[in-house]
């Protein structure tokens, strides 16, 4: 079989066309965001919609719960969709909902989004007080079940404390090295080292706000950044988490940023334009050339574009540990 | 192995003592009510509590989802607990929640309780207009998944229309022949015949309000009633659904009857006293003697006390069809 291609985060306006593009782009697996600020009940409604998508497009995608499902997807020429949550609002203040959502197929759970959550602190708060009491309970529960704690959007202290508190490796599914784009949304060298030491994982983002030169970032700049990341975490713990939000209306970026926690900002909010070399799943294979140009060997490219995610998922997702 | 003993409905105030009594009474399986008028979110909290019970009392009970789990329980000397809902409030107005609750382990779903529901009509309404539009959708979904439609508490027309609409056999998990206790809560000969013709199932109730002489009913009277039921549905489609509500405070019978749909009745409401020969799971084996006294053969007793439920569950519960 050809090398695996996996995207560690997308939140597209799902349609048959997008699933067809996943196949055309050779994507074996995608981690798809189910909810941002939605509560448990609203999240369950999204999970109902996903079940309908899996039935309607069973020729293109399948509902993935562990590495076996990923292998099954590859063997049958389909894309394995892993489901995840970008805030912990769906578990509300009920630790039992971690297990319930796990049973319903959720495999990635962000500790927080941009703000303080019940579990930990986001990168946009003035002060990050670290992992909360419930946060420690939730991390233990995720460890027990095989649900990944995802630290994308978390503050530095919350990120480091989660890495320390977690019995199993954690992920930053979609972020970039901070020294290439100086925003607290990206991860510091210290965080990357802590990830490396704990067997954790980072997926590099292709969202303009995380890229060195925004929408104008070149593929070469992206690849150079990947090379620097690989020096720290190694190609076996490095992947892609594109943060692709294809076909979404701008109201969605407002929902992501403002949820229900603030009155709507009068300012217009719009999705930034993607770099011209990464606008859909069709562009995923093209990343290989960029990586090759900065010196990645073929086996290293295979790891970064999917092999490393596949190994990590096989070990850490969906199975008790 | 000894003959199977199965109770088709209990709603006890669950405790280790009650699970120990299930074992002492030789119960291989019990269908346990999870919710009455609780909505989806509240039901999920009860399902969380059940997961804790299964962990805390793993030496006595196990979480059963199909006939294989029942066999596993028998082989390991434990009681298989099947979960069910006595109203369709947990699915709200969202057909997708049938599948979600199925995935979370629910295996019995009553079409309604005493009142009109979104699916059908209960026995206490003035007029029963039959299965609703959503009711037909829900029945089809239950059929697809392997969740039993339970017609206990349903009105006559809703019951007959559900039997006709359902592609797979349905149950009346806990009710008695109406001619022995004339209440619309019990089932008519016509309903029993329709159940018999469709391969359906009835579990005989030991709740005083359903018994010929209430709390004073003798074991012999119960057994005579069972013999009459067997003449219509046959011992392969007849079982027990005791409706045992052991250790519940009287506030629970108020919740069952009044839910949130009426202002509390000023009248005191209390659970009736159980017949002295059926007060807990310890009394279950004693039913055999009563059945023998009215002429049931040993193989027939084995069917009525559990064998018939086991066969029915193996064919109709938890597996697509």
Query: Tell me, what's the pLDDT at A146?
Result: 98
At B2 the pLDDT is 82
CATH number of A6-316: 3.20.20.140
Beta strands in B151-248 (DSSP E): 171-172, 201-204, 238-240
Encoded tokens for B196: 């018999």
Q: Is-contact B274 B208, C-beta < 8 A?
A: yes
Question: B29-35 and B61-63 as β-strands: parallel, antiparallel, unpaired?
Answer: unpaired
Interchain pair B94, A48: CB under 8 A = yes
Judged against a pLDDT cut of 80, whether residue B1 lies above it is answered with no
For residue B101, the chain A residue with the least C-alpha distance is A104
Interfacial residues of B (vs A; Cβ cutoff 8 Å): 40-41, 44-45, 47-49, 51-52, 94, 96-97, 99-100, 103-104
CA distance B273 to B250: 12
Question: Distance between CA atoms of A13 and B170, rounded to whole angstroms?
Answer: 40
Q: Report ipTM for this prediction.
A: 0.90
* 8 Å CB contact of B100 and A48: yes
Residue A96 is nearest to which of B48, B94, B99, comparing CB atoms?
Answer: B48
> b/e map of A217-254 (b: 16 or more CB within 10 Å)?
bebebbbbbbbebbebbebbbbbbbbbbbbebeeebeb
Q: Which two tokens stand for residue A32?
A: 């798809």
Q: Does the distance separating the beta carbons of A104 and B44 come in below 8 Å?
A: no
pLDDT average, residue stretch B124-139: 98
Q: Return the closest-CA partner of residue A310 out of A25, A14, A27.
A: A27
Chain A residues whose CB is inside 8 A of the B96 CB are 44-45, 48-49, 51-52
Which of B95, B99, B101, B106 to mutate: most A Cβ within 10 Å? B99
Q: Residue A115 is encoded by which pair of tokens? A: 């703000």
Task: Copy the structure tokens of residue A279.
Answer: 């606008």
Q: Which of B48, B52, B99 has its CB closest to that of A100?
A: B48
Q: C-alpha angle B103/B255/B43, rounded to 5°?
A: 15
- Can you read off the two tokens belonging to residue A77? 């020429």
Q: Identify each DSSP E strand in chain A by its residue range.
A: 6-10, 29-35, 61-63, 79-85, 106-110, 148-150, 171-172, 201-204, 238-240
Q: What is the distance between the alpha carbons of residues B313 and B169, in angstroms, rounded to a whole number?
A: 11
CB-count burial class (<10 Å; 0-12, 13-18, 19+) for A103:
middle
Q: 3-class DSSP state for residue A79? A: strand
- Report CA dihedral (B147, B150, B154, B158) to the nearest 10 degrees: 50
Q: How many other CB atoms are there within 10 angstroms of residue A128's CB atom?
A: 22
Residues of B in contact with A96 (CB under 8 A): 44-45, 48-49, 51-52
Residue-wise pLDDT tens for chain A (321 aa)? 689 999 999 999 999 999 999 999 999 999 999 999 999 999 999 999 999 999 999 999 999 999 999 999 999 999 999 999 999 999 999 999 999 999 999 999 999 999 999 999 999 999 999 999 999 999 999 999 999 999 999 999 999 999 999 999 999 999 999 999 999 999 999 999 999 999 999 999 999 999 999 999 999 999 999 999 999 999 999 999 999 999 999 999 999 999 999 998 888 899 999 999 999 999 999 999 999 999 999 999 999 999 999 999 999 999 998
Q: Residues near A182 by Cβ (< 8 Å), separated by ≥ 6?
A: none
- Are A243 and A207 contacting, i.e. CB atoms less than 8 angstroms apart? yes
What is the per-residue pLDDT for B22? 98
Give SS3 for B104: coil
**Which residues of chain A does B104 touch, with a Cβ-Cβ cutoff of 8 Å?**
100, 103-104
The first and second tokens of residue B67, run together, are: 């006939």
* DSSP letter string, A113-173: SSS--SS--BTTSS----S-HHHHHHHHHHHHHT-EEE-TTB-HHHHHHHHHH-SS--EE-
Write down the residue that tokens 């294809």 correspond to.
Answer: A246
Of A94, A96, A104, the CB nearest to B100: A104
pLDDT above 80 for B269: yes
* Nearest residue on chain B to A47, alpha-carbon basis: B100
**E-strand spans in chain B?**
6-10, 29-35, 61-63, 79-85, 106-110, 148-150, 171-172, 201-204, 238-240
What pLDDT was estimated at residue B267? Answer: 87
Give chain B's mean pLDDT: 97
Find, among A186, A259, A191, A296, the residue nearest to A38 by Cα. A259
């Amino acid at each position: 079989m050809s090398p695996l291609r996996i995207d560690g985060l997308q939140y597209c306006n799902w349609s048959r066309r997008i699933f067809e593009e996943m196949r055309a782009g050779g994507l074996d697996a995608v981690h798809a965001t189910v909810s941002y600020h939605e509560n448990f009940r609203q999240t369950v409604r999204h999970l109902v919609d996903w079940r309908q998508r899996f039935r309607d497009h069973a020729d293109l995608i399948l509902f993935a719960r562990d590495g076996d499902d990923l292998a099954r997807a590859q063997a049958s020429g389909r894309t394995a969709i892993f489901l995840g949550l970008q805030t912990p609002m769906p578990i509300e203040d009920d630790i039992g909902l971690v297990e319930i959502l796990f049973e319903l197929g959720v495999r990635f759970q962000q500790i927080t989004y941009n703000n303080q959550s019940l579990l930990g602190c986001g990168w946009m708060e003035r002060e990050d007080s670290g992992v909360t009491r419930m946060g420690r309970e939730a991390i233990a529960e995720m460890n027990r079940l095989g649900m990944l704690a995802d630290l994308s959007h978390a503050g530095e202290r919350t990120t480091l404390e989660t890495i320390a508190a977690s019995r199993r490796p954690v992920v930053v599914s979609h972020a970039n090295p901070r020294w290439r784009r100086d925003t607290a949304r990206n991860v510091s060298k210290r965080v990357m080292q802590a990830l490396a030491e704990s067997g954790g994982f980072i997926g590099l983002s292709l969202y303009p706000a995380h890229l060195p030169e925004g929408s104008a970032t070149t593929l070469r700049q992206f690849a150079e950044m990947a090379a620097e990341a690989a020096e720290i975490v190694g190609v076996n713990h490095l992947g892609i988490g594109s943060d692709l939000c294809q076909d979404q209306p701008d109201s969605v970026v407002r929902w992501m940023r403002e949820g229900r926690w603030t009155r709507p900002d009068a300012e217009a909010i719009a999705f930034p334009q993607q770099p011209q070399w990464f606008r859909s799943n069709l562009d995923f294979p093209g990343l290989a050339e960029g990586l090759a140009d900065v010196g990645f060997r073929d086996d290293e490219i295979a790891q970064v574009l999917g092999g490393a995610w596949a190994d990590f998922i096989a070990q850490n997702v969906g199975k008790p540990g």
